[in-house]
Chains A and B, each alone.
Chain A
Amino acid sequence: MSIEIKTSTLEPVRNTFANLQRRFGDKPATRYQEATYDIQPLVNFHYRPLWDQDRELTDASRTALQMNDWYAFKDPRQFYYGTYVQQRAKMQENAENNYGFFEKRDLTRLLPETVKGQLIRFLVPLRHVEHTANLNNMYCSSYGFGTALTQAFLYNGMDRLGVAQYLSRIGLLLDGNTGEALEEAKQLWMEAPYWQPLRKLCEEMLTTEDWFELFIAQDVVMDSLVYDLFFEQYDAALTEQGAQDIGMLTEFMRDWAKDTNRWVDAVLKIAVAESDANKTLITGWIESWRGQVAEALSAVSREMLGEEALNMALQNLDKRLAKAGIK
């Protein structure tokens, strides 16, 4: 038997805000819709920014990409702030358990010395790459257009700070909290020849002006290749060497990439499907950045995983691109 609590019902005057009625009809809106659509100011800005006097404060012309409606970029995860932090809180709880277990059992002790050295050479310096990703996504959030996209960029930017901090914690686990592993890793990032092409590219990305191009460079091309190499292929290589416990410390990154790629792929697909002009533009950007990123990753991936790794990562990238309509 089910018990039904009697409540008094009042007929509402309207179901939702007028902008959502116009978009979706007069029916109750989801919290994602209420928190996303049309909330960015669109017209009648008062002053041109001193830092970009040719444009309005919020201006769709900061990218060459053109959209009829910038709110077409619906996030398949439907992240607004509340759903975003709750989803990440679940992931961090899991990560916290993993890091806690690793620390409590002192699993660093079981790592072969050669692996410890490798982690400092390959995994820990990646935190600087993640820091670049943090800045690039903040860039897209602040110069991008339409809350549907800009909020997702902000979440991505903050995620990358989180990943950089997790990678730093791996360093601290290795050096017993002295910070020596982090220093050593930074020195390698600054000086080791196999990191320099990637560092050069990171610095150059930070001067890229078109924000959608930067999204292509960072979130599509760079992340696809980096996460494949460092968190999939390298994880498998560590397992081969008896260092599978590191997988606990990078589980967050794999889960994160899986979650985020759903959104990245959706954005790409929507932008490409919008018009032939967009498709041409994006194809050009992909071509240019695919080449540059591959070149920048070539030395470090060879050093870390051998000759074939990068090709495999590139093949996976191409598969994703094909699904979005780019061959």
Chain B
Amino acid sequence: MAAKKLNMKEKYRLLTRDLDWEFSYADRKKAFPFEEFEGIKITDWSKWEDPFRLTMDSYWKYQAEKEKKLYAIFDAFSQNNAHLNVSDPRYINAIKIFLTGITPLEYQAYQGFAHTGRQFGGVGARVACQMQSLDELRHVQTQVHAMSHYNKFFDGFKEWTHMQDRVWYLSVAKSFFNDARSGGPFEFLVAIGFSFEYVLTNLVFVPFMSGAAYNGDMATVTFGFSAQSDEARHMTLGLEVIKFLLEQHEDNVPIVQKWIDKWFWRGSRLLSVVAMMMDYMLPNKVMSWKEGWEVYFEEAGGALFKDLARYGIRMPKYAEQIRKEKEHISHQTWWTFYTYGQAAGFHTWIPTDEELDWLSEKYPNTFDKYYRPRWEYAKKLEAEGKRFYNGTLPQLCTTCQIPLLFTEMDDPTLTAHRCSHYKGDQYHFCSDGCKDVFEEEPEKYVQSWLPVHQIYQGNCGGPGLPEILQDYYRFEMGADNMDMKGSPDEARWKQWKGVA
């Protein structure tokens, strides 16, 4: 008898989808206890369309080939001291942010997808989450290995495992993922699988990886190419989740819309550090943050939301606010890091004259009017030997945990500040978006581990800022932080390159 030919979908169904069964002896709700508390209604898991149909044997095979190539490049990279090929030592600071800020997020993505990969009742969704979980662990580990060589030659990398749990600006990223993971499994998928991976991931991935390509960083860009096909799988999972939830029950629509509103806002706040990286930290520029936002969100995201309109989903609530912010946030963020350069675990600097001109050209509506004068002033101070560091601790936003550094978008000279009261205490916010997010779930956000509050409460050592930076953050003063000018990174680079 000739065996019947199976197509991919049939084969995948037979090999995978039918593994689960109806329970007869234990309470299935006890085995999958988190499916109902968020209010999401799943009527039929069998309607789940597998976003990719990869069996484990193929997964091992393809991924092993990718890993083999990737590690061959890493080996060649370090053997040939290829860190010497980067465009400019300032560039290295972008990947310090990557290792300390983004890599821990990949770890939390591994944990979050492991959780949903155990908890979803539908085997198709579960297995897709499990594979993403494994991929995310891959990204953590390959990133650490890509950065390992840089750590041997530059400061700012060595304490990344310690810093991720403590440093003030890393708390922004950590709280973002903690927020998603502490929600139920469906919110996690909408937050990370859809909002972050499907819509915003291009705005993290493309800037960092293209930045690496433009600046001669072969290790990071090779990781980027290698991770691309994983990311493509993750994006299809994110989209399937949204469609599945919206098709399962009409009552899911307002819940999903609320999460989309929340997570786009949270995501756009998180991306402010990427905005600053693109506009200020890449010696060879890829594109401006504003251009990136227009291409990857306004055009691509706009088309996506048109497509989702048939389910009753509209554009995220704060899209209009974010559209205005693209003119400002990179400048406001880098200025803050520059002025708090002693509290940053990477080096900061004043843009060169060519870079200032590039910014003027890319931001004709705002740069010369609001931001160039600040840099001219900083240049003057620096020339007088008075490089300025702000020694006071800023007020943090309770939701996104970014200092209140953003302005009103209609008046860029006025710092935005919102307040809310809950159970007799006052809470501060950087924006209407963050205030609204808080007011939806105050019980959650009053728990925030806010780095500045923690310092004032004496939970981070001290008494002064220098002790906190050295002992609690484990910054090596003057090497891991402060200005690029006069840093050991700069001195070593000059020595390697034989310049005075």
> Which of A's residues lie within 8 Å of B, judged by CB?
7-10, 12-19, 21, 29, 31, 34-35, 37-51, 57-58, 80-82, 85-86, 88-89, 91-93, 95-96, 103, 127-128, 130-131, 134-135, 138-139, 141-142, 150-151, 154-155, 157-159, 161-162, 164-166, 168-169, 171-173, 176-179, 182, 186, 189-190, 199-200, 203-204, 206-207
Write out the residue numbers on chain A whose beta carbons fall within 8 Å of the beta carbon of B37: 50-51
A17 with B161: in contact, given A45-B449, A47-B444, A151-B137 (CB under 8 Å)? Answer: yes
- Check: B164 CB closer than 8 A to any chain A CB: yes
A48 with B447: in contact, given A15-B152, A41-B108, A89-B64 (CB under 8 Å)? Answer: yes
A-binding segment of B127-135, B311-319, B374-382, B431-439: B127-135
Q: Are A45 and B178 in contact (CB under 8 A)?
A: yes
* In the bound complex, CA of A308 to CA of B257 (Å): 60
16 A-B pairs (CB sep. < 8 Å): A37-B161, A41-B164, A44-B454, A46-B447, A49-B181, A51-B34, A82-B67, A138-B133, A142-B118, A151-B137, A157-B117, A176-B2, A179-B14, A199-B24, A203-B28, A206-B26
Write out the residue numbers on chain A whose beta carbons fall within 8 Å of the beta carbon of B3: 103, 172-173, 176-177
- Check: B85 CB closer than 8 A to any chain A CB: no
Q: Are A178 and B80 in contact (CB under 8 A)?
A: no
Write out the residue numbers on chain A whose beta carbons fall within 8 Å of the beta carbon of B25: 199-200, 203-204
Write out the residue numbers on chain B whose beta carbons fall within 8 Å of the beta carbon of A142: 111, 114-115, 117-118
Q: Are B80 and A81 in contact (CB under 8 A)?
A: no
- The list of the 4 closest CB pairs from A to B, nearest first, reads A89-B64, A162-B56, A12-B152, A203-B26
Chain B 59-93 per-residue mask, 1 if CB under 8 angstroms from chain A, else 0? 11101110110110000000111001000000000
Mostly, the A contact residues are: helix
* In the bound complex, CA of A39 to CA of B105 (Å): 11
* In the bound complex, CA of A197 to CA of B22 (Å): 15
* In the bound complex, CA of A158 to CA of B127 (Å): 9
CB distance from A79 to the nearest CB of B (A): 11
* In the bound complex, CA of A60 to CA of B463 (Å): 31
Interface residues of B in 423-466 (CB under 8 A from A): 444-445, 447-449, 454
Contact-size category for B: 35 or more
- Check: B57 CB closer than 8 A to any chain A CB: yes
Chain B 88-123 per-residue mask, 1 if CB under 8 angstroms from chain A, else 0? 000000000000000010011011001101100001
> Counting chain B CB atoms within 10 Å of each CB, which of A86, A91, A155 scores highest?
A86
Write out the residue numbers on chain B whose beta carbons fall within 8 Å of the beta carbon of A35: 140-141, 144-145
* In the bound complex, CA of A45 to CA of B165 (Å): 8
Write out the residue numbers on chain B whose beta carbons fall within 8 Å of the beta carbon of A200: 24-26
CB distance from B135 to the nearest CB of A (A): 9
Write out the residue numbers on chain B whose beta carbons fall within 8 Å of the beta carbon of A17: 148, 151, 157-161
- Check: B310 CB closer than 8 A to any chain A CB: no
Write out the residue numbers on chain A whose beta carbons fall within 8 Å of the beta carbon of B148: 16-17, 29, 34
Write out the residue numbers on chain A whose beta carbons fall within 8 Å of the beta carbon of B384: none
Write out the residue numbers on chain B whose beta carbons fall within 8 Å of the beta carbon of A139: 118
Interface residue from A15, A16, A45, A81 paired with B134 (Cβ < 8 Å): A81
Write out the residue numbers on chain A whose beta carbons fall within 8 Å of the beta carbon of B171: 44, 46
Write out the residue numbers on chain A whose beta carbons fall within 8 Å of the beta carbon of B28: 203
Q: Are B142 and A168 in contact (CB under 8 A)?
A: no
Q: Are A81 and B142 in contact (CB under 8 A)?
A: yes
CB distance from A100 to the nearest CB of B (A): 12
Q: Are B24 and A203 in contact (CB under 8 A)?
A: yes
Write out the residue numbers on chain A whose beta carbons fall within 8 Å of the beta carbon of B140: 35, 39
Write out the residue numbers on chain A whose beta carbons fall within 8 Å of the beta carbon of B59: 85, 158
Interface residue from A82, A141, A176 paired with B4 (Cβ < 8 Å): A176
Write out the residue numbers on chain A whose beta carbons fall within 8 Å of the beta carbon of B449: 44-46
Q: Are A85 and B161 in contact (CB under 8 A)?
A: no
* In the bound complex, CA of A161 to CA of B137 (Å): 18
Write out the residue numbers on chain A whose beta carbons fall within 8 Å of the beta carbon of B142: 81-82
* In the bound complex, CA of A179 to CA of B13 (Å): 10
Write out the residue numbers on chain B whose beta carbons fall within 8 Å of the beta carbon of A58: 111
* In the bound complex, CA of A164 to CA of B20 (Å): 11
A154 with B179: in contact, given A35-B141, A86-B64, A176-B1 (CB under 8 Å)? Answer: no
Write out the residue numbers on chain A whose beta carbons fall within 8 Å of the beta carbon of B63: 85, 89
Q: Are A127 and B107 in contact (CB under 8 A)?
A: no
CB distance from B417 to the nearest CB of A (A): 22
CB distance from A32 to the nearest CB of B (A): 10
Q: Are B137 and A50 in contact (CB under 8 A)?
A: no
* In the bound complex, CA of A133 to CA of B474 (Å): 42
CB distance from A94 to the nearest CB of B (A): 11
Q: Are B14 and A41 in contact (CB under 8 A)?
A: no
Interface residue from B19, B80, B130, B181 paired with A127 (Cβ < 8 Å): B19
* In the bound complex, CA of A129 to CA of B4 (Å): 27
Interface residues of B in 1-39 (CB under 8 A from A): 1-6, 10, 14-16, 18-28, 30-31, 33-34, 37
